[in-house]
Amino acid sequence: MISDRFVYADHAATTPVTSHVREAMAPYLLGQYGNASALYRKGREARKALENARRSAAAALGAAPEELFFTACGTESDNWAIKGVAAAHPQKRHIVTDAVEHHAVLRACESLARFGWDVTVLPVDGEGFVDPDDVRRAIRGDTALVSVMAANNEVGTVEPVREIGAVCREAGVPFHTDAVQAAGHLPIDLHSLPVDLLSLSGHKFGAPKGVGVLYVRSGAAILPLLDGGGQERGLRAGTENVAGAVGLSIALTDACAALEESLPRTAARRDRLIEALCAIDGVRLNGSRAQRLCGNVNVSIAGVSGSRLLAALERAGVAASAGSACSAGSAAPSHVLAAMGVPLDLAACTLRLSIGPETTDADIGYLVETVPRVIARLRQ
């Protein structure tokens, strides 16, 4: 039987576009449709909106406007950071990353390896943490870049980015962080954070899909990923998505401004979920309990197939996932859980529930009641 009740618990995959963002974008989808590179009035209006969006997004992140470049998504931002820095340092042939990165980072590094680059993939501990000392030991004289994510998209572990950045600063090596899951959900101040490049994606915090940002600290060497026109100060070719940039800036500003209130509230709801699920026999929490994204719950459930559980939850009106949305449908076990040492049989029995600021106490109550009931039924 399919439930009339619906709870969206997959915010790590994507988030609903907020009403404020929709209203702000509407003019640039309708009457103000000019190309930001055009010199006539509609083009100038579009250019003004684009630069205002850049200033707003930069202010939310503690960056200078000229350090932000609009992209199509987090994957493009990751690829550009890694391949663009590599291209700018042809005399250096070594990159350091870690085993639990998003595939956008890992496969970008694999692409460089096919062209002769040496890639060091660092291990993580049982909670998914990268050890800053491992980063220090991995850096060599020919290291062009270190890339370690800010927070893991599957298990929610928040990495020690500040400490890793300090190691990279001391060694004089550029540091990139994939902050796609962190932006809008954790405080980020790029004025003080020792990061040289940072990637984010708008649809993870209330903006539409199809727009992202790459932050490049002033003075950091990077070459374009895309060849074409001279948009984005000659570094990112392609007609700018003005409406998307406006939406991203509004969503990011709103999310960052609300963090002081929303973060503890969402974390309390997350903890209620974790306590309810971990009270079930054979359930283990994946990722760090203490250093965790405020909306992430990732558990392995002994004896329950992840795919069967997701199907049963959907019939019960719950939208959830087994891990990264980008790997949905893959028969391969999670590379994140494998790197953390989770046994294969448990990795195949994983559930990720990710909530957002609009998730209500009533939604949490429904999840706390429904998920254990579905698990018990499947075990029978």
Between residues 380 and 329, the one the model is more confident about: 380
Residue 325 has pLDDT above 90, yes or no: no
Tell me what the mean pLDDT of segment 288-306 comes to. 96
Catalytic residue among 256, 278, 326, 349: 326
Is the alpha carbon torsion for 315, 321, 322, 325 positive or negative? Answer: positive
- Summarised one tens digit per residue, pLDDT across range 344-356 is 999 999 999 999 9
- Give me the chain's average pLDDT, please: 95
Exposed, middle or buried by CB within 10 Å (0-12, 13-18, 19+), for 233? exposed
Give the C-alpha separation, 339 to 345, whole Å: 14
- Summarised one tens digit per residue, pLDDT across range 306-322 is 999 999 999 999 999 98
Q: Residue 339: which of 359, 323, 352 has the closest Cα?
A: 323
Contact 138, 114 (CB under 8 A): no
* pTM of the full structure: 0.95
User: pLDDT confidence of 224, banded at 50, 70, 90?
Assistant: very high
The H or E element that residue 263 is part of is helix 242-278
- The pLDDT of residue 326 is 53
Say if domain 19-254 classifies as CATH 3.40.50.2300.
no
- The pLDDT of residue 96 is 98
**Domain boundaries of the chain, sorted by first residue:** 7-16+259-379, 19-254
User: pLDDT confidence of 88, banded at 50, 70, 90?
Assistant: very high
256 is catalytic: no
- The pLDDT of residue 357 is 92
Residue 339 has pLDDT above 90, yes or no: yes
Least confident segment among 16-25, 168-177, 341-350? 341-350
Contact 352, 270 (CB under 8 A): no
* β partners of residue 146: 96, 175
Q: How many CA atoms lie within 13 A of 378 on its CB side?
A: 22
Q: Residue 326: which of 80, 10, 18, 110 has the closest Cα?
A: 10
- Summarised one tens digit per residue, pLDDT across range 179-223 is 999 999 999 999 999 999 999 999 999 999 999 999 999 999 999
What's the gap between Cα 343 and its chain centre? 25
User: pLDDT confidence of 274, banded at 50, 70, 90?
Assistant: very high
What's the gap between Cα 160 and its chain centre? 16
Instruction: Note the CATH number of domain 7-16+259-379.
Output: 3.90.1150.10
Residue 4 has pLDDT above 90, yes or no: no
Residue 324 has pLDDT above 70, yes or no: no
